[in-house]
Amino acid sequence: MPDLLCPHCLQPLPGGYGGDCPHCGRSLENPNPEGALPLGTQLGDRYTVGGYISADGDGLCYRGVLNEEKKFVLIKEYFPVTLCNGRSADGALMPKEGREVLFKTSRMDFKDLYDDLHNLTPATGLSTILDVLEENNTVYAIEESEKGMTLTHYLSLRSRTLTPAEARTLLQPVMEGVTQLHKAGLIHRGICPDNILLPIDGTARLTGYGTLALRTGGSELKSQLYPGYAAPEQYSASEFSGRYTDVYALAAVCYKLVTGQTPVAAPQRRVRDSLESAHSLEAGVPTWFSQVLACALRLDPARRMQTVPELMSALTDPNVANAMFERGDNQISTRKIMGVSLVVIVVLAILLIWSLLESGGGSAAQTPPPAQSSTAQSEDPALDEVETIPNLVGKRYASEIKDNDLYASYRIVMTEENSSDVAAGIVMSQEPAAGTLKTEENQILQIVVSKGPNLVEMPNIIGFTQANASKQLDERDIQYRMQIIENDGTMAEGCVAKTDVLAGTRFDAGKTVVSVFIAGERDDTLVATTGTPAPQDTAESDASQSSSAAE
């Protein structure tokens, strides 16, 4: 066995722990609180536990050392205080009586999360998970340790707010990382300045990973939410988070960067929404940029911006933002305002000319009849040269638009989206709108073409934990609602008991919302009444099977 390492200076300790390090002189006595792993504990013969850092509902965090590479790391230990009675003499965690199944299913969620992150990272904008190991009846996640500061600390050192361009640049890698999380079926749920690291020699990275239960108010674990950044749906176990939850948090962080103020916490906004626009707090923030943040910070998830790429595009390009506002409800686009203003100006100009002609004629008899004036205006060559945007909505892109000389003076930008109502290949929307004045040669004309319905196959998620079930459905873009049902003791607590769409069924994901029924806490009174014992072993077996299926 190799020599133990000093967790402070990484030098070998032939004499073991105790006293002071002969190399750096720092104390090797155990400073960690009761219940935490002692300083110098070896994990998997690969890692040395250093000083205790913090605790949350998922567990404990320590400084640590990767022995072979003599490299500092962070060690996260699954230790849910609401489900544990502490440690045995040999260091193993002991679940509370009657909470064994929930302890195991929650531990499985923790391991599945960090296994997925281990497979996904390293990735742009995400802190890397180096290893996951099981020991002491629990799970340890090993995360990279970067030199730098949190975004919270960085903002405290600044004398001014960031410009929108600076904010976009800083958050770009984090948004790219969250997009990768979402593609892997993972939701972060804890994005805030405290969990964004600014390394000395790199771009911003997101850390602060946590299980669904940790980031949900009223869950079985002691939850950890970040007021102002946590979305409203996170404050209740009866509501369900999704990709739009991280969109809310990212917009809240951006709001903080450009205004210097933390958004009003979601529970308070639900009572009285007093959140001021970014533009009203900081005049240098463009109106369209402020509107994008407002759209992404909507309290209702269904009316909120849904994906991070959509948020990234809208924060970068005002044309994209305006197109989004035209499609959205309760929004007025800048382009529409300009269009209406132009019409008003033209009408006022005509009235002014008319008034001047009347006053210059000297008598009513010399004033041209209105019909003649109208005719003269209609024959004005300048008006005949005005060109308006053609209507492409409803046309077939491949045969009617692509390579068509009629649209040679436009630069057509085509994107595709699934639609349950419009046939594949047909244009669903365009920006600018038809009839709008053409303002330049080779003007950009953005169109959205239907890909037809999004047909998906329902996965078999019976027995999956709530977090794993959400992951499977999110990966397939399946809309779903989850509902807690009464548990008579025959179902694994916190796992999927049934769905209203059978596994293997193909359906239109754009029109169907799948109902997923989650088994609630076992009701021992029902077990006693029916005389059927609660099969803990079966519940644990189902949970294990769900983990294998998820992997």
Both structure tokens of 198:
């600014």
Helix axes 334-361 and 370-378, enclosed angle (nearest 10): 130
Rounded Cα distance between 190 and 187, Å, is 9
Lowest mean pLDDT among 266-270, 384-388, 437-441: 384-388
Q: What is the mean pLDDT of residues 158-187?
A: 92
b/e per residue 382-400 (b: at least 16 CB within 10 A): eeeeeeebbebeebebeee
Both structure tokens of 8:
């402070």
Q: For the sheet with 513-522, list strands across it.
A: 479-487, 513-522, 496-499
pLDDT in tens, 480-528: 888 888 887 778 888 899 999 999 999 998 888 899 998 887 665 544 4
Tell me the C-alpha to C-alpha distance, in Å, between residue 89 and each of 92, 178, 361. Answer: 7, 41, 108
Percentage of residues in the chain with pLDDT exceeding 90? Answer: 44
Q: What is the mean pLDDT of residues 61-70?
A: 92
**Nearest one of 311, 443, 465 to 389, comparing CA atoms:** 443
b/e per residue 31-48 (b: at least 16 CB within 10 A): ebeeebbebbbebeeebb
pLDDT value, residue 421: 85
Lowest mean pLDDT among 151-160, 178-187, 357-366, 533-542: 533-542
Rounded Cα distance between 104 and 90, Å, is 19
pTM listed for this prediction:
0.61
Instruction: Specify the 3-state DSSP secondary structure of 232.
Output: helix
Q: What DSSP designation does 301 have?
A: G
Instruction: Specify the 3-state DSSP secondary structure of 491.
Output: coil
**Nearest one of 466, 470, 417 to 185, comparing CA atoms:** 470
Q: What is the mean pLDDT of residues 171-183?
A: 94
Rounded Cα distance between 183 and 173, Å, is 15
The residue assigned the tokens 């692509």 is 402
pLDDT value, residue 358: 66
Query: Where do the CATH 3.30.10.20 domains begin and end in the chain?
Result: 386-453, 455-550
Both structure tokens of 62:
């320590």
Q: What is the mean pLDDT of residues 392-414?
A: 88
pLDDT in tens, 322-357: 766 655 443 444 444 455 456 557 767 787 777 777
CATH architecture of 386-453: 2-Layer Sandwich (3.30)
Query: Where do the CATH 3.30.200.20 domains begin and end in the chain?
Result: 4-144
Q: Do 174 and 196 meet the contact criterion of CB atoms below 8 Å apart?
A: yes
pLDDT in tens, 194-233: 999 998 877 899 999 999 988 988 887 888 999 999 999 9
Superfamily of domain 148-331: Transferase(Phosphotransferase) domain 1 (1.10.510.10)
Count Cα atoms within 13 angstroms, Cβ side, for 473.
Answer: 28
Tell me the C-alpha to C-alpha distance, in Å, between residue 110 and each of 81, 90, 214, 373, 465. Answer: 14, 22, 10, 78, 11
Q: What DSSP designation does 506 have?
A: E
Give the pLDDT band of residue 406 (cuts 50, 70, 90). confident
User: What is the bridge-based pairing of β-strands 47-55 and 42-43?
Assistant: antiparallel
pLDDT value, residue 325: 63
CATH architecture of 4-144: 2-Layer Sandwich (3.30)
Q: Helices (DSSP H) in 260-367: which residue ranges?
A: 266-271, 278-281, 287-296, 308-316, 318-327, 334-361
pLDDT value, residue 120: 93
Q: What DSSP designation does 536 have?
A: H
Q: Is the dihedral of CA 370, 372, 373, 379 positive or negative?
A: positive
Contacting residues for 54 by C-beta, under 8 A, at least 6 apart: 60, 61
From the number of C-beta atoms within 10 Å of its C-beta (0-12, 13-18, 19+), residue 381 rates as: exposed
pLDDT at position 192 over 50:
yes
CATH number of 455-550: 3.30.10.20
